[in-house]
């Protein structure tokens, strides 16, 4: 299975009742040195006062040329570089990040991982991603803190219940997992939810995906960066792309704040900045819009909810972090923006929905909020494709789904770059679908980006 570690040369460490495989050929650098993280390394560094830990990744100067340039040092760009090296043997790769690694959406999200989709194209892709998530800490030899605590989608009307049950059946037919819970079962599993008959939006049931959950967003970036670095990839921070180099119509490299860098292949994975970056290449018409999506976290509480819960009468999703804060988000702000901050109307909307779902949190204090720039596609589904110019590859249009898709996105984008053709899981996600009208409208909102 893709992503599994090879057993040869590895050893197993038992932590409590869990077995953790450490070491092995899949975790070696190109120079043959073993990865530093293991139970033995932890013990050795504890005895030495933690003075001997090495940097997680190098800080190289850019070379004049590479086989592949990946623009964007977020989760998708780093995962793409990792899988180019790990799966295709292409390690002469540079990841160019205009700021510090993980300063974009990979560090500005609510950390939810799920595969509870309806359409077959979506269920195949996100279930593939879920399987990669389930082995990711072992694959990277880095704890990404993936917690399969489950996600529960609350239904508030018989019609919505029918819709959720249909989705659950589609998930199970595609090899995923789904359970239908009654209101009484929800009351026992999540005592804080108002399932009383007097609730303004009565809960009639809910769709549970037990294998869904959360992961540590920073750890995902750090794990992929470290894994890519161990395979020879150059991760170049504070290197903003300012233009593209051409040979006729073909893209042959980029100009940056740190000089020209040439490459046979140039991949763009910059989320909400896609429009701005692609305009530098003369591509000013893409089926995406940029919007700001806010997220919030409260003060720390005692254990309150042990799964992700979403509200069906509006747009709200919430979980509790390992630090105790309630992490939640809702709708985008509804206007085009490149700002990593939002406005108060959405704050009020999300707070009111949260109190309607969990009345007991009404007096909990908000600790902080932040924003990520979403690249919203016309049909709410991603774009992972060759082109739109020769020598260029594009990964964008993730809407709300970027974080949970990180492993599958990186894997399939690396495949597309290495082989100049899509993998079967991203074959439906090309730009051509918009020309042919074969849209993947998971939400059923039509060709209106802000509604997805």
Q: What is the mean pLDDT of each run of 10 residues along the chain (452 residues)?
A: 33 32 37 61 88 88 98 97 98 96 90 96 96 96 96 97 97 95 96 89 97 96 96 97 96 97 98 96 94 96 96 96 95 91 92 94 94 94 96 96 96 98 96 93 90 89
Task: Give how far Cα 114 sits from Cα of 133, 395, 398, 428, Å.
Answer: 10, 20, 14, 20
- Tell me 193's DSSP state: S
Measure the CA–CA gap between 443 and 193, rounded to whole angstroms: 25
Q: Pick the closest to residue 396 from 285, 256, 294, 287 (CA basis).
A: 287
Q: Pick the closest to residue 233 from 57, 4, 384 (CA basis).
A: 57
Two structure tokens written together for 284? 């000013």
pTM: 0.90
Residue 71: predicted pLDDT: 98
Q: Pick the closest to residue 147 from 307, 276, 280, 266 (CA basis).
A: 307
Cβ-contact 98, 240 below 8 angstroms:
yes
* Domain extent listing, the chain: 1-54, 60-452
Measure the CA–CA gap between 144 and 88, rounded to whole angstroms: 23
Two structure tokens written together for 77? 């760009």
Q: Residue 238: CB partners within 8 Å, gap ≥ 6?
A: 97, 98, 99, 100, 257, 258
Residues 58-94: b if buried by 16+ CB within 10 A, e if exposed: eeeebeeebebbbbbbbbbbbbbbbbbbbeeebbbbb
Cβ-contact 222, 244 below 8 angstroms:
no
- Tell me 69's DSSP state: E
Count CA atoms within 13 Å of residue 114 on its CB side.
Answer: 25
From the number of C-beta atoms within 10 Å of its C-beta (0-12, 13-18, 19+), residue 381 rates as buried
Residue 14: predicted pLDDT: 27
What is the secondary structure of 146-165 as a DSSP string? -B---EEEEE-SHHHHHHHH
- Pure H helices in 267-426: 274-280, 344-357, 406-419
Measure the CA–CA gap between 324 and 311, rounded to whole angstroms: 20
Cβ-contact 408, 323 below 8 angstroms:
no
Give just the sign of the alpha carbon dihedral 340, 345, 347, 349.
Answer: negative
Q: 10 Å Cβ neighbour count for 237?
A: 17
Q: What is the pLDDT of residues 341-384, one digit of tens each?
A: 889 999 999 999 999 999 999 999 999 999 999 999 999 999 99
Q: What is the pLDDT of residues 93-132, one digit of tens each?
A: 999 999 999 888 998 999 999 999 999 999 999 999 999 9
Q: Pick the closest to residue 298 from 340, 343, 345, 355 (CA basis).
A: 355
Cβ-contact 116, 209 below 8 angstroms:
yes
The CATH code that applies to domain 60-452 is 3.50.50.60
**SS3 assignment, position 379:** coil
Q: Pick the closest to residue 422 from 391, 396, 387 (CA basis).
A: 387
Residues 397-421: b if buried by 16+ CB within 10 A, e if exposed: bbbbbbbbbbbbbbbbbbbbbbeee
Residue 312: predicted pLDDT: 95
Q: Which residues on neighbouring strands pair with residue 239, listed in sequence order?
A: none
Residue 142: predicted pLDDT: 93
Q: Pick the closest to residue 67 from 96, 101, 91, 38 (CA basis).
A: 91
Which H or E element spans position 367? strand 366-377
Q: 10 Å Cβ neighbour count for 391?
A: 20
From the number of C-beta atoms within 10 Å of its C-beta (0-12, 13-18, 19+), residue 262 rates as middle
Which H or E element spans position 103? none
């Amino acid at each position: 299975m893709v992503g599994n570690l090879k057993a040869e040369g590895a050893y197993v460490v038992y932590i409590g009742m869990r077995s953790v495989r450490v070491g092995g050929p899949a975790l070696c650098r190109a120079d043959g040195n073993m990865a530093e993280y293991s139970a033995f390394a932890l013990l050795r560094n504890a005895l030495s006062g933690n003075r001997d830990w090495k940097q997680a990744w190098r800080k190289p100067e850019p070379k004049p040329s590479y086989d592949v340039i990946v623009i964007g040092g977020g989760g998708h760009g780093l995962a793409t570089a990792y899988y180019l090296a790990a799966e295709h043997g292409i390690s002469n790769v540079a990841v160019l990040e205009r700021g510090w690694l993980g300063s974009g959406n990979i560090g500005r999200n609510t950390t939810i991982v799920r595969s509870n989709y309806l359409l077959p194209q979506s269920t195949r892709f996100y279930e593939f991603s879920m399987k990669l998530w389930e082995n990711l800490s072992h694959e990277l030899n880095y704890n990404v803190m993936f917690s399969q605590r489950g996600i529960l989608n609350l239904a508030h009307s018989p019609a919505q219940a029918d819709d959720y049950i249909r989705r659950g059946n589609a998930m199970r037919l595609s090899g995923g997992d789904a359970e239908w819970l009654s209101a009484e079962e929800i009351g026992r599993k999540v005592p804080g939810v108002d399932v009383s008959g007097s609730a303004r939006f009565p809960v009639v049931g809910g769709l549970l995906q037990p294998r869904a959950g959360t992961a540590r967003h920073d750890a995902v970036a750090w794990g992929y960066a470290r894994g890519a670095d161990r395979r020879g990839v150059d991760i170049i921070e504070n290197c903003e792309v300012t233009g593209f180099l051409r040979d006729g119509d073909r893209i042959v490299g980029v100009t940056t704040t740190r000089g020209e860098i040439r490459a046979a292949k140039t991949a763009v994975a910059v989320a909400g900045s896609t429009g701005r970056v692609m305009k530098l290449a003369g591509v000013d018409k893409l089926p995406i819009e940029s919007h700001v999506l806010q997220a919030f976290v409260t003060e720390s509480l005692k254990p309150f909810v042990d799964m992700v819960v979403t509200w069906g009468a509006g747009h709200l999703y919430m979980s509790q972090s390992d630090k105790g804060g309630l992490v939640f988000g809702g709708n985008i702000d509804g206007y085009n923006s490149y700002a990593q901050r939002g406005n108060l109307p959405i704050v009020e909307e999300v707070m009111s929905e949260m109190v309607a779902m969990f009345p007991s949190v009404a007096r909990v204090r908000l600790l902080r909020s932040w924003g990520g720039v979403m690249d919203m596609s016309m049909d709410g589904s991603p774009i992972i494709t060759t082109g739109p110019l020769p020598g260029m590859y594009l990964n964008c249009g993730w809407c709300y789904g970027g974080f949970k898709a990180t492993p599958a996105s990186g894997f399939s984008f690396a495949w597309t770059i290495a082989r100049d053709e899509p993998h079967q899981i991203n074959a439906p996600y090309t730009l051509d679908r918009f020309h042919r009208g074969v849209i993947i409208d998971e939400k059923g909102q039509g060709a209106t980006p802000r509604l997805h």
